A = this chain, B = another copy of it.
């Protein structure tokens, strides 16, 4: 446990309470939220993937009680725990399948093991879907009936909400949108998953670094070259800094990324036609707070306008997400709340 921050106090909070867990390959973030999605307490613990699923489940169980204690509450005050995990997974079975970022945890029955150690009922969800639900519940998506959250990082996460329903898919593979094909050519870019033409191979942080490297290797002039020569590592952050300083190549790389994302969004619009598509994650180029972030968003919107049918083009909101790294645990808690309401309709009618 390293950090904690108090958002609202126990006195202000509206029961019942839920604990949301955002399980990642490096850290596990966890928060206790009230019935309105407001955080009372939160903490982060290292995942220690190498120690295996059972060890992590035990430590998650302990941390659930620590986060409850931090909020000044008791275990009995918590109605349910939500656990958002990276895939692949089998959601109805509560098991991981072959999770790329949790090596050695294959087929681990994580939902029931966390429930055992936390001594609380656990709802199991995909982490990208959980983050989308967080934005849908209390973030930039709270006015939407249906929405998509694209999380830009090493890969491209995607969570889809249609109405109040999470689109888990019939085989827990809904929202693997980073792995949809936007280039059917035989020589299309190769994705980290080994297949060709995937959106993720064009628009993830990995892809940004790769495309920049390609251009530099081909002899394109750029102020990036000097920074790399001075020992800095090529990354979307470095590209963003040089773009802000006016470097042409860096700007081109970022705006091409916007183009590819726009193409992906049109595909979402012409398939599920949501109210809005939000962009979150580590690679938002500063978001609304920066000129570069705003231009990145504008370029995405422009690509969508050119490529989508007029009605969805004019009516689909395309914006940044607002909850940042908290979306995952808040959404996991929100999904747990959904299950709780299904079981306790009297509360829903309040």
What is A's interface to B at a CB cutoff of 8 Å? 88, 97, 145-146, 158, 160, 162-163, 165, 167-177, 179-185, 193, 195, 202, 259-260, 263, 266-275, 307, 309, 311-312, 315-316
Q: How far is the CB of A275 from chain B (nearest CB, A)?
A: 5
A169–B266 Cα gap in the complex (Å)?
A: 13
Q: Which residues of B contact A260 (CB under 8 A)?
A: 184
Q: A162-B167, A195-B307 are in contact. Are A271 and B185 (CB under 8 A)?
A: no
The A contact surface, by secondary structure, is: loop
Closest residue of chain B to A158 (Cβ to Cβ) is: B271
Query: What is the CA–CA distance of A172 and B269 in the complex, to the nearest angstrom?
Result: 10
The quantity of this chain's copies bound in the complex is 2
- Minimum CB–CB distance from A97 to chain B (whole Å) comes to 7
Contacts of A165 in B (CB 8 A): 162-163, 165
**30 A-B Cβ contacts within 8 A?**
A145-B170, A160-B272, A162-B162, A162-B167, A165-B165, A167-B272, A167-B273, A169-B312, A170-B315, A170-B316, A171-B315, A171-B316, A172-B273, A173-B269, A173-B270, A173-B273, A173-B311, A176-B273, A177-B270, A181-B263, A181-B266, A181-B267, A182-B182, A183-B185, A184-B202, A184-B259, A185-B185, A195-B307, A267-B271, A271-B272
Give min CB distance, A50 to chain B, whole Å. 25
Q: Are B182 and A271 in contact (CB under 8 A)?
A: no
Instruction: Kindly state the separation between the CA atoms of A252 and B340 in the bound complex, as whole angstroms.
Output: 55
In the complex, chain B residues whose CB is within 8 Å of the CB of A202 = 184
Given contact pairs A145-B170, A171-B311, enumerate 16 new A-B contacts (beta carbons under 8 Å).
A88-B311, A146-B170, A169-B274, A170-B274, A170-B316, A173-B270, A175-B271, A176-B270, A176-B271, A180-B267, A180-B271, A182-B183, A183-B183, A184-B259, A193-B309, A271-B272
Q: Which residues of B contact A271 (CB under 8 A)?
A: 158, 160, 174-177, 180, 267-268, 271-272
Q: Is the CB of A309 within 8 A of B88?
A: yes
Whose C-beta in chain B lies nearest to the C-beta of A90? Answer: B311
Min distance, Cβ A274 to any Cβ of chain B, angstroms: 6
* Contact present for A169 and B272 (CB under 8 Å): yes
Check B170 against A275 for contact (C-beta < 8 Å).
yes
CB neighbours of A171 from chain B (8 A): 273, 311-312, 315-316
* A57 smallest CB distance to B (angstroms): 23
* C-alpha spacing A160/B146, complex, angstroms: 15
Contacts of A273 in B (CB 8 A): 167-176
> Which residue among A173, A193, A307, A312 has the maximum number of chain B CB atoms within 10 Å of its CB?
A173
Residues of B within 8 A of A169 (CB): 272-274, 312
- Residues of chain B within 8 A of A162, CB atoms compared: 162, 165, 167
